[in-house]
């Protein structure tokens, strides 16, 4: 029930609820992956059931697709949609220029493909995700399994010339086995502390053989909606150069809060 939610979960909910207002009938909408994006899917599912909202969703992971179907959202693939009106997703970090680190949930490749195939990307987050410099959250880098240790060594070599605080790197695990993405790849998490030049970092990483994609989202996000535990919501639109704030009433909904296994 809502009263049992932590302030962080309440912040995620109000950000997701505010972002849901940007979805209109007939749209093709990218649906992100992660705990905050799951709140969005639940909110949109309730709007489908209660308000008759009709749109088609393009999920960025198998678990988002499963949740979307469960709550009644029509799910299609990106090849069928071709282009999207908006993608709404969470982030692990965002900086003042709305550059992002994503991939904590392991879906960074599909998330980036879907986001860049959209007219607009909206990020929903709690206030703790805002940072002055990216890099405190480990940077995920998706790599092909073949020769991943060689890829790791090449990344380590490239980091020597980068403006970072640390260069530690770990292979993401799922229990006693390497984590496997929806595309069958592995993820290396780079513990950098601070990334002085995210744009340069993204370019260098994507030139390394074996690297599929990095979790740096540069010049992709158009708007960040920041939720707070007291119901305040801040909307930052980088294209319009505006920052607005309002407050959402935290209303109980059995449909929305009945299944929180996320």
3-state secondary structure of 212: strand
Rg (CA), the chain: 18
Can you say which residues are annotated as belonging to the binding site?
Answer: 33-36, 89-92, 102-105, 129
CA angle 111, 75, 216 (to 5 degrees): 5
Task: Choose, from 4, 50, 93, 111, the residue flagged as catalytic.
Answer: 111
Question: Hey, how many other C-beta atoms are within 10 angstroms of the C-beta on 183?
Answer: 12
Can 130 be counted among the known catalytic residues? no
Residue pair 124/12 in contact (Cβ under 8 Å)? The answer is: yes
Can you say which residues are annotated as belonging to the binding site for substrate?
Answer: 33-36, 89-92, 102-105, 129
DSSP for 182-198 reads TTS-EEEEEE-S-BS-H
Question: Hey, how many other C-beta atoms are within 10 angstroms of the C-beta on 211?
Answer: 21
Separation CA 84–CA 61 (nearest Å): 16
The H or E element spanning position 12 is helix 7-20
Residues with a catalytic annotation lie at 111
């Amino acid at each position: 029930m809502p009263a049992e939610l932590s302030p962080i979960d309440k912040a995620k909910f109000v950000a997701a609820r505010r972002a849901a207002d940007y979805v209109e009938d007939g749209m093709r909408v990218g649906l992100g992956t992660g705990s905050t994006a799951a709140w969005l899917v639940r909110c949109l599912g309730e709007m489908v059931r209660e308000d008759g909202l009709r749109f088609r969703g393009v999920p960025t992971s198998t678990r988002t697709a499963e949740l979307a179907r469960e709550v009644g959202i029509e799910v299609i693939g990106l090849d069928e949609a071709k282009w999207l009106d908006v993608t709404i997703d969470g982030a692990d970090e965002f900086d003042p220029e709305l550059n992002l680190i994503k991939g904590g949930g392991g879906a960074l490749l599909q998330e980036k493909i879907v986001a860049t195939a959209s007219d607009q990307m909206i990020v929903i987050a709690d206030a703790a995700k805002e940072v002055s410099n990216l890099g405190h959250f480990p940077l995920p880098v998706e790599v092909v399994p073949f020769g991943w240790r060689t890829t790791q060594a090449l990344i380590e070599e490239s980091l020597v010339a980068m403006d970072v605080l640390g260069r530690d790197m770990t292979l993401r695990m799922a229990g006693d086995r390497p984590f496997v993405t929806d595309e069958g790849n592995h993820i290396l998490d780079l513990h950098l502390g601070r990334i002085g030049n995210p744009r340069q970092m993204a370019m260098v990483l994507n030139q390394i053989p074996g690297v599929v994609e990095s979790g740096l989202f540069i010049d992709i996000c158009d708007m960040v909606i920041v939720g707070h535990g007291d119901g305040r919501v801040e909307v930052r639109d980088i294209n319009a150069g505006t920052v607005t704030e309002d407050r959402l009433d935290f209303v109980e909904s059995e449909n929305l809060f009945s299944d929180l296994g996320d």
